[in-house]
Amino acid sequence: MTREEQLLAAMVEAVDTLVDDFDLIDFLHQLCDRCNELLDVSAVGVMLTDPDGRLQLIAASDEHTRLLELFALQTDQGPCVECHRNGTARLNISLKSPVQTAAFPRFAERARQEGFLITHALPMRLRQKAVGALNLFDSREQKLGESDARVAQALADVATIAILQHRTIVHGNIERAQLRAALSSRIVIEQAKGILAERWNTDLDTAFDALRQHARAHQHPLTKLCQKLIDGSLDTTAVQRPETS
């Protein structure tokens, strides 16, 4: 697809949140995929606020990024944390610059260890309603241009509208219940990833890719599929292992 077609597809996916079986976790992982494709970045993370206003990691494009974002939450520092606090975007942060990373030196060091050189953080908010933050990482010293920055914020805005829209239209005032469900789903997915990775003797990213592909191919919600894998009603042999190059 062309870049314009990819951007249109992202918008269409947001409209799909109106369906009854909308899966928040899968939607946000799809957002990560779209950011990777459209912005040519190395990795993406998405954090949402819990009922107490604290950030929680909900989606990441790969396992290394997931662990890095969890480190940010544990140490309460990083561009995503700062972005959520002040509600403004932080773009083209050089992780090698002591000046630009003065507010989060431990996070910057950890990010560099993971091979990242530049990061960007964008708020997910609608007017005064804060939902979370979107974090982009690049392993190259490649800055995000003005056009790409607009696309990145547009994706964050569309995701915010989609989340709030779904909460309002389908469930009314259900922010607390939905986020609790999302956090519970995250635990179920992590358990299923671990089971599959152990059975296949492979990494967690490969296991997660296989789960997502199986869920989509069979039109099953991702969380329900993972729960079946955990309780044994779905055998691991039913899930096709992705081909490796």
In this model, does residue 207 exceed pLDDT 90?
yes
Query: What's the whole-model pTM score?
Result: 0.75
* pLDDT average, residue stretch 189-212: 93
Which residues share a beta bridge with 56?
A: 48
Q: How confident is the model at residue 173 (pLDDT cuts 50, 70, 90)?
A: very low
List of E strands, 100-157: 118-126, 129-138
In this model, does residue 243 exceed pLDDT 90?
no
Higher per-residue pLDDT: 184 or 133: 133
Structure tokens at 12: 């269409």
Burial of 79-113, coded b for 16+ CB within 10 Å and e otherwise, reads bbbbbbeeeebbbebebeeeebbeebeebbebbee
Which pLDDT score, from 0 to 100, does residue 17 have?
60
Residue 96: name the closest of 119, 66, 73 by CA: 119
In this model, does residue 190 exceed pLDDT 90?
yes
Task: Give the chain's mean pLDDT.
Answer: 87
Which pLDDT score, from 0 to 100, does residue 166 have?
64
28 in Cβ contact with 58 (< 8 Å): yes
In this model, does residue 171 exceed pLDDT 60?
no
SS3 61: coil
CA–CA separation, 134 vs 136, rounded Å?
7
* pLDDT average, residue stretch 181-204: 91
Backbone angles phi, psi at 140, to 5 degrees: -115, 155
Domains of the chain, earliest start first: 3-173 (3.30.450.40), 184-238 (1.10.10)
* pLDDT average, residue stretch 11-30: 72
SS3 203: coil
Which pLDDT score, from 0 to 100, does residue 164 have?
77
pLDDT in tens, 118-127: 999 999 987 7
121 in Cβ contact with 108 (< 8 Å): no
